[in-house]
A and B are shown apart, each in its own frame.
Chain A
Amino acid sequence: MGKKTIIPIGPYHPLLEEPEFFKLYCDGETVVDMVWETGYNHRGIEKICESKTFEQVFYVVERICGICSTSHPFAYANAVESIPGIEIPLRAKYIRTLIGELERIHSHLLWVGLAGHFLGYNTVFMWAWKYREPVLDMFEMITGNRNSYAMFTIGGVRRDIDSERAGKLFKVLDEAEKKINLLIGAVMDDPVIHARLKGVGTLTAKDIHDFGAVGPTARASGVDIDVRRDDPYAAYDLVNWKVITAQAGDVFAKAEVRLLEMLESIKIIRQCLDFLQKNPEGEIKAKVREIPAGIGIGHAEAPRGEVFHFVKSDGGNSPIRHKIRAPSYTCIPTFRRSCIGGTISDAAIATAAVDPCYCCTERMSQAYDFRTGKKLYNAADLIRLSQQKTEEIKKQLHKR
């Protein structure tokens, strides 16, 4: 092997929305190794959650990530409601499902646009983002906000959808569906996109199992997992839909899975609206008096994969421990399989293909002794250890 060249990307780079840092080690045109560094976005959310009441935590977890701002409250609601075992009203279930699926459409359209932008294909970017606007309009009609919807609460939802509004939503949805179909046709038949995406950043089913990747990344490699079907929550077992998978595992397959998933989401939304229109009366919130002591776990299928929340309660009014695992946490390490061996020009789209979300990922890690459960190191200790090592190496170098 000849000389290696290091290409640094980030932390502030025109390509990247969020601050993160990649180092690509290149031999000529080929990427031979890569290292990434995150942590710029770490805001200490798990600790902040412990200082809020159970109801307030919804608004904190919503702001983990602006794109998945329903998935995190969804998983948190599932976790908290599992402690006392609350059954939420049917109407609330359908409204939750509706919001979750609208978010999936908006997130996937956003991804298609950004992928087009990364390929230097700005027409796709402009199209996808233009067709995303009606979806945001629907959010505004239902919740009053374009992002960060504040719809969820313990035991149900905060706002109802009456039949008049449901009728309006049907109209907007029909229009959005036409445009989304147009976009899907345009992207899937485009020869440039075929040439750029096929055979790039391929992940096999074994890679997916090795890294534990989830969501559309896994489904594009033929691994058929989806929390919505495997462990149904809200109204997903009451509506008719199917899980989309593809076999190829390359970036094109991931795009295909996301594009076709949007059509499934539209199908689900239509069934939810239909239910809400036909049954205009009903509770939207179950009465919850208190959260007893106990442990609750909940998961939800975010647009990027499985979101996992763990909540521990001691019977008080706020959680004493809140643990969050976002899908990008397991998807990001797959970069080592998808980028290494490819060319530098393919690295951008191969990293973008898993739809990485760094603000979801930035949780803190701690090292525990697995026998005694005693805390060995936290982040500050690890940094101190690392600094000590540098000092020692420096001393040794001076001695020579």
Chain B
Amino acid sequence: MGFKESCFKKSLWVYHLSAGSCNNCDIEILDCLTPRYDIERFGMKLVGSVRHADVLLVTGIVTKKTKPRVIEVYEQAPKPIVVIAIGACPCTGGIFASGYNFAGPLDKVIPVDLYIPGCPPKPEAMLAGIMKLLNK
């Protein structure tokens, strides 16, 4: 277990950043909180500020307008922080990769620890991804 992972043995606090998404992944993240999936039983919860967070979830393509803001949010975050790209958009650009307002995939903007592909990924996929990262 690396240093970064050993920092996250206990309950994870999650901050959700929508860079330029279509709402699908955002809804599925909120769905994780609601009674069927209920990630609060693992101690995970959404927090209002990135300064309190252990995990930064990024959804949607990074547009030219949001790029400086994404970098700023990442710089404000306490380190070490786990950055998770949720959905096809932050991973590769997905269907919007040919658009003129696309500012590159997320890993060209900030370092990314985990990619969860899918459009949108199911809540189960998100949970499985986080568990894989923590048990690495």
Contacts and interface: CB of A to CB of B under 8 A. Distances in A.
Interface of A: 11-14, 17-19, 39-45, 47-48, 51, 59-60, 63-67, 69, 110, 113, 125-126, 129-130, 133, 146-148, 357, 359
Interface string B61-87: 101011001000100000000000000
Contact of B22 (A12, A39, A65): A65
24 contacts: A12-B18, A13-B48, A18-B26, A19-B18, A19-B69, A40-B63, A41-B20, A42-B101, A45-B99, A47-B99, A48-B95, A51-B98, A59-B95, A63-B22, A65-B23, A66-B120, A67-B23, A67-B27, A113-B34, A129-B30, A130-B35, A146-B122, A147-B120, A148-B24
Contact of B23 (A66, A125, A129): A66
A2 B64 CA distance: 39
Contacts, number: 109
A17 B23 contact: yes
B24 A63 contact: yes
Contacts of A17: 18, 23, 26, 30
Contacts of B63: 40-43
A66 B22 contact: yes
Interface string B47-62: 1110000000000110
Interface of B: 17-28, 30-31, 34-36, 46-49, 60-61, 63, 65-66, 69, 73, 95-96, 98-102, 119-120, 122
Given A12-B69, A47-B100, A51-B98, A64 B22 contact: yes
A63 B18 contact: no
Contacts of B19: 19
A133 B21 CA distance: 22
Nearest to B119: A148
A17 B46 CA distance: 12
A64 to B, nearest CB: 6
Nearest to A110: B27
Given A12-B18, A66-B120, 12 more contacts: A12-B69, A19-B18, A19-B69, A40-B66, A42-B63, A43-B63, A43-B99, A45-B99, A59-B95, A63-B95, A110-B27, A147-B24
Nearest to A69: B24
A129 B46 CA distance: 16
Nearest to A17: B26
Contacts of A146: 28, 120, 122
Contacts of A129: 30-31, 34-35
Q: A-side binding surface: helix, strand, loop or mixed?
A: loop
B49 A14 contact: yes
Given A14-B48, A17-B26, A63 B36 contact: no
Contacts of A67: 23, 27
Contacts of A44: 96, 99-102
Nearest to B123: A146
Contacts of A110: 27
A65 B98 CA distance: 18
Contacts of A126: 34-35
B20 A19 contact: yes
A48 B96 contact: yes
A63 B63 CA distance: 15
A18 B18 contact: yes
A138 to B, nearest CB: 15
A130 B27 contact: no
A356 to B, nearest CB: 11
Contact of A43 (B27, B96, B122): B96
A13 B101 CA distance: 23
B95 A359 contact: no
Find the residue from B17, B19, B35, B101 having the highest chain A CB count within 10 A: B101
A330 B99 CA distance: 25
Contacts of B66: 11, 19, 40
A64 B120 CA distance: 13
Nearest to A14: B48
B23 A18 contact: yes
Most buried by B among A14, A41, A45, A359: A41
Given A14-B48, A126-B35, A146-B122, A42 B20 contact: yes
